[in-house]
Structure 1
């Protein structure tokens, strides 16, 4: 197995001391000097210096640098043991930054990430951004300043992504995105196959006899998960040889997470947008909702207009809550949150332990579940 980059730096300093090229009290190359010499990130060189300090090989003095410790004794370090401190395995600290979570999506993901970290003897810090990009930026800065070893980030929706993410990726800071990837940011990501999922949901409605199908979502711009679900919907139409009317696609809903007075206003706005959409497209007989919340809202609009589900309209969506021994309320795509979590933690661990810098994009399978919201036309 290839020696991790931080171990190579660790060994290099040890060798310099053992050969007498660095003596007790001599200054050790800085994080920047080591990162330039070994062509690695500052995070990797810092990790090597931190480990040298923990094993009493060097002494780090704030504002001055790192120096060979007078406590260093060569025979105590003949066998390399870079991951052991005071007889126990070094514990890393990961942080999860997430907009929020609920029973339909997120709760299982958070629990699975926490479990995967515990199995790797890794601490986990969780920060919620409530869907606000400024909170995401604040969380990233604080956690990096607090010297976490790596970040798992569920980015907020939006056309304008957080520039702090770009800074992290350019610095090769250990980082994994979940649920989506961001174009222009060379970071690892773990996502559901959203394009295939969107296509499968739409095809299912075709098998039930529906041909005029509406698609309901917030703006897909800047959010890969939504973009790919839209593409899957369009691809299903194309493969059926049926012309898709652009007016059947509603992509202007406003996102919300918190149940506050402001969110009540957003709810009312979205309600009116969907109501107008339904009334303007009387030939539509089924809907693909990009998210569970939109499925709930379209259901309320239809019921308020005097329609029944699934007798009058069929609805499919993503991430409807499920219950043991009970048929789901909505026919939906269930994302594999446990596999997403485990893969994200594994990739982040590899970035840190092996010093890997090449981004990895991993696609996770999903499950299609039939519910009470659909029936043949």
Structure 2
């Protein structure tokens, strides 16, 4: 045998040895299904081997169905190795479907607002059509959200509709729902790192069409104001829609016209002057319009402008996004983008019921179209051009 083939054989044997060592670590640590296992770097350091060798070891375990790997997340213990723990998590859901004993759907939302209350009402209406009852959970934060999900699975819930907190990535508990095949549909968010059923509004198109509307009304100096994006897909897409509309119409994107808040607007003080919005307006006197990423920011901008004796919409047009209840009740009723919560709820419940009934099709991402509501907060500048 030539030296090269001998070297290859030793390398092959080494990564198989490391794979066996990983199994020993799993056993010694008492890892359960979907717990993280040591990474390539950790294995390389622990056993004094190259990252390539540790990578080959983990890939060997993947091929054997003992672990699975997720981009940017790591390597996790497969449910195949600990079938008992997997069965315990799946059994309540499966039994509820087969025996028809627990006909309950859960809706988990991050807060109570005009928007989420409309979603709750619409989901409850849709769930009753299927002769299921709705359980509502309002999570205080991301940790509480995961505790709610864990408790719902333990009680044998038939399925879950999740409006998640604005986290950068989906939580470990959401991963568990996916891997344990608990019927779950995410609404108003997209988690890019795992394939999971999602139903959300087309935020990009809604924002793009609003920018087009302002441009058609003769506006060229158009600002943009939003809460910090924080990798929340809805905010990302609204911002992208604004940028793309300007580019498509040959309008320069001016960085000074783009404002991301350092703090959220206080819902209890909408009628007062907001220092952040006031400073943004004051620093950009050439702006004739401001697109706001949600109605809360738009209402704060409107009242700030009025406190500064800036006439709306004659001097400054202001538009929002979501069409909350208050948007029609401001001193100058807001033009905004309406998110159809009834269509969102209907699509989410329909998709969830498919999963409850053990549909085998691949994960789906469903976009719900928005529409614009024209009120009194936009000035037509075409006669001035």
TM-score if structure 2 supplies the norm length? 0.70
Secondary structure at 1:151's aligned position in 2? Answer: strand
Q: Which residue of the partner structure matches residue 280 of structure 1?
A: 283
* Contact kept? 2:105, 2:157, Cα under 8 Å: yes
* Stretch deviating more after TM superposition (164-173 or 238-247): 164-173
Provide, for residues 238-290 of structure 1, a one-character-per-residue CA deviation record: whole Å limited to 9, x for no partner.
Answer: 1101110122111234336875xxxx7x999x932222221221111111111
How far apart, in 1, do the equivalents of 2:333 and 2:180 lie? 45
Query: Is the aligned partner of 1:359 residue 2:363?
Result: yes
The runs of 5 or more residues in structure 2 that have no matched partner are 1-78
Of 143, 148, 151, which aligns to 1:139? 148
Shift of residue 42, structure 1, vs aligned partner: 6.7
Q: 1:31-70, aligned counterparts within 5 Å? A: 47-48=93-94, 50=95
Query: Is the aligned partner of 1:99 residue 2:110?
Result: yes
Q: Which residue of the partner structure matches residue 252 of structure 1?
A: 261
RCO greater where, 1 or 2, for CA within 8 Å and sep 6 or more?
1
Of 188, 191, 195, which aligns to 2:200? 191
Shift of residue 125, structure 1, vs aligned partner: 0.6
Q: Which residue of the partner structure matches residue 333 of structure 1?
A: 337
* Stretch deviating more after TM superposition (364-373 or 326-335): 326-335
Q: Which residue of the partner structure matches residue 66 of structure 1?
A: none
Shift of residue 35, structure 1, vs aligned partner: 10
Query: Is the aligned partner of 1:125 residue 2:129?
Result: no
How much is the aligned-residue C-alpha RMSD, in angstroms? Answer: 3.2
Secondary structure at 1:106's aligned position in 2? Answer: helix
Change (3 A) 1:218 1:184: same
How far apart, in 2, do the equivalents of 1:166 and 1:125 lie? 21
* Contact kept? 2:93, 2:153, Cα under 8 Å: no
How far apart, in 1, do the equivalents of 2:92 and 2:120 lie? 29
* Contact kept? 1:180, 1:189, Cα under 8 Å: yes
Q: Which residue of the partner structure matches residue 244 of structure 2?
A: 235
Provide, for residues 198-250 of structure 1, a one-character-per-residue CA deviation record: whole Å limited to 9, x for no partner.
Answer: 10011111111111111111122321111111110011001101110122111
Query: Is the aligned partner of 1:148 residue 2:157?
Result: yes
Structure with the bigger percentage of helix: 2
Provide, for residues 69-102 of structure 1, a one-character-per-residue CA deviation record: whole Å limited to 9, x for no partner.
Answer: xxxxxxxxxxxxx85x5xxx65521111112243
* Contact kept? 1:188, 1:360, Cα under 8 Å: yes
Shift of residue 329, structure 1, vs aligned partner: 1.5
How far apart, in 1, do the equivalents of 2:182 and 2:289 lie? 45
Aligned residues: 300
Of 355, 380, 385, which aligns to 1:376? 380
How far apart, in 2, do the equivalents of 1:320 and 1:376 lie? 21
Q: Which residue of the partner structure matches residue 319 of structure 2?
A: 316
Q: Which residue of the partner structure matches residue 184 of structure 2?
A: 175
* Contact kept? 1:318, 1:334, Cα under 8 Å: yes
Q: Which residue of the partner structure matches residue 63 of structure 2?
A: none
* Stretch deviating more after TM superposition (148-157 or 188-197): 148-157
Q: Which residue of the partner structure matches residue 297 of structure 1?
A: 300
Change (3 A) 1:33 1:326: closer
How far apart, in 1, do the equivalents of 2:153 and 2:286 lie? 53
Q: Which residue of the partner structure matches residue 71 of structure 1?
A: none
* Contact kept? 2:265, 2:296, Cα under 8 Å: no
* Contact kept? 1:161, 1:222, Cα under 8 Å: no
How far apart, in 2, do the equivalents of 1:290 and 1:161 lie? 23
Of 168, 173, 195, which aligns to 1:164? 173
How far apart, in 2, do the equivalents of 1:140 and 1:47 lie? 13
Shift of residue 162, structure 1, vs aligned partner: 3.0
How far apart, in 2, do the equivalents of 1:288 and 1:125 lie? 36
Shift of residue 357, structure 1, vs aligned partner: 6.4
